[in-house]
Copies of this chain bind each other. A is one copy, B any other.
Amino acid sequence: MADVNIHSLKSLAIFKTLLEAGSASQAARTLGITQSGVSRSLAQLEDNLGIQLFLREKNRLVATPEAYELYEEILRLMGNIEELRHSILALKEFGTSRLRIAAIPGLAFGFVPRLIGTLLEENRGFSISFDMMSSHDVLREVESGHADIGFVTLPVSSRLLRIEEWLTTQARCLVPANHPLASRTEVTVEDLQNEYLVISNQPNVGADPLLHLAASHSISIAGKTESNIGAIAAMVANGVGISVMNPITATDQLVGRTDVVMRPFSPRISFSFGMVYREDWKNVQALDSIRRTGNELLKTYPD
Contacts and interface: CB of A to CB of B under 8 A. Distances in A.
A33 interface: no
A85 B9 contact: no
A259 to B, nearest CB: 44
Contacts of A7: 9-10
Interface in A48-103: 49-51, 65-66, 69-70, 73-74, 76-77, 80-81, 84-85, 87-89, 91-92, 95-98
A88 B4 contact: yes
Given A77-B81, A85-B4, A65 B10 contact: no
Contact of A66 (B6, B81, B84, B91): B91
Copies of this chain:
2
A1 interface: yes
Contacts of A8: 9
A84 B6 contact: yes
Nearest to A97: B69
Interface of A: 1-2, 4, 6-10, 49-51, 65-66, 69-70, 73-74, 76-77, 80-81, 84-85, 87-89, 91-92, 95-98, 284
